[in-house]
Amino acid sequence: MKVIKRISIVGTGNVAYHLGRALLKNNFQVDGVWGRTKANAQKLARDLNTISFDQLIQLPENSDLIIICVSDGAIQEIVEKIPSSFALAYTSGSISLNDLPKRDNIGVFYPLQTFTKSRDISFDTIPVLIESKNDQFAESLKKCASKLSRTVRFTNSEERFQIHIAAVMVNNFTNHLYHLADLHMKKHQLPFDILKPLIIETAEKIKDISPIDAQTGPAKRNDLSVIENHLNELSDETKEIYQLLSKSILKNNS
């Protein structure tokens, strides 16, 4: 099993930034950064105390691993452009290994988290899902990930796909509900801030209690008159969403 020590990063978004910082912090050598937009690559290179490349063919041969942190639609093209001598990992939740060109050392290194550049995050709490058809390489990736995170798990493409669906539900959709609540509060000149302790506690609760047992509120109590009053106040898609989610909670009561 090859030990991964030197890494180059392809991509300059939120994942590239936070993964790069975690690598540096854990004493990996970040050889360099490539990005489609030169200025972004230069900026990330500065943040990671390394150099940037203009061309993918300039990636340094002594890097043990190239981590590809680009949007799903760009992964295939990037993989095709990187010489086959390089070992590659990509950070996508959706793209199956079967959809990419076969090569000896290619794998998945998927940190299951939502990243924003402006917000620090402890990488060691983030589950990292590892996959490769090459068992030796999978072990190398796992060992590398284990230096960054306490939770590393071999996960095949099908499992990763299912986990990604669940992640969309608990992250993207939940955050969208925060946004709709924010709009609702603004509409009534009320401060969104007052909801923040409730938002935090709703999430913290599931550390101890399963979501089905944590449920409270009018739909859980079969309180149809409160639901009706709320629906009469809402319009458009917020009303539709309120209706559909209440119906789904009510269904659980029966």
* Residue 97 is a binding residue for its own copies (CB under 8 A): no
Determine which residue in the list 49, 73, 235, 254 makes contact with its own copies, applying CB under 8 A: 73
Question: Least CB distance from residue 106 to its own copies, whole Å?
Answer: 20
Show the CA angle centred on residue 238, arms to residues 172 and 240, nearest 5°. Answer: 105
Q: Which of residues 4-23 bind its own copies (CB under 8 A)?
A: 14
Choice between 140 and 155, CB closer to its own copies:
155
* Residue 125 is a binding residue for its own copies (CB under 8 A): yes
* Residue 237 is a binding residue for its own copies (CB under 8 A): yes
Residues 45 and 31 sit within 8 Å (Cβ to Cβ) = no
- What is the spatial distance between Cα 254 and Cα 251, in angstroms, rounded to a whole number? 6
User: Which parts of the chain are beta strand (E)?
Assistant: 6-10, 29-34, 51-53, 65-68, 88-90, 106-111, 128-132, 152-154
Question: Least CB distance from residue 210 to its own copies, whole Å?
Answer: 7
Determine which residue in the list 25, 166, 228, 253 makes contact with its own copies, applying CB under 8 A: 166
Question: Least CB distance from residue 155 to its own copies, whole Å?
Answer: 8
- What is the spatial distance between Cα 140 and Cα 97, in angstroms, rounded to a whole number? 17
Choice between 136 and 175, CB closer to its own copies:
175
Q: In what order do the strands lie in the sheet with 128-132?
A: 51-53, 29-34, 6-10, 65-68, 88-90, 106-111, 128-132, 152-154
- What is the spatial distance between Cα 180 and Cα 37, in angstroms, rounded to a whole number? 34
Q: Which of residues 193-232 bind its own copies (CB under 8 A)?
A: 194-221, 223, 226, 229-230
* Residue 156 is a binding residue for its own copies (CB under 8 A): no
Question: Least CB distance from residue 134 to its own copies, whole Å?
Answer: 23
Q: Which of residues 20-59 bind its own copies (CB under 8 A)?
A: none
Question: Least CB distance from residue 72 to its own copies, whole Å?
Answer: 7
- What is the spatial distance between Cα 42 and Cα 40, in angstroms, rounded to a whole number? 5
Given the rule CB under 8 A, which of 1-9, 77-85, 137-145, 244-252 is the region that contacts its own copies?
244-252
Choice between 4 and 160, CB closer to its own copies:
160
- What is the spatial distance between Cα 105 and Cα 66, in angstroms, rounded to a whole number? 10
181: left (phi over 0), alpha (psi -120 to 50) or beta: alpha
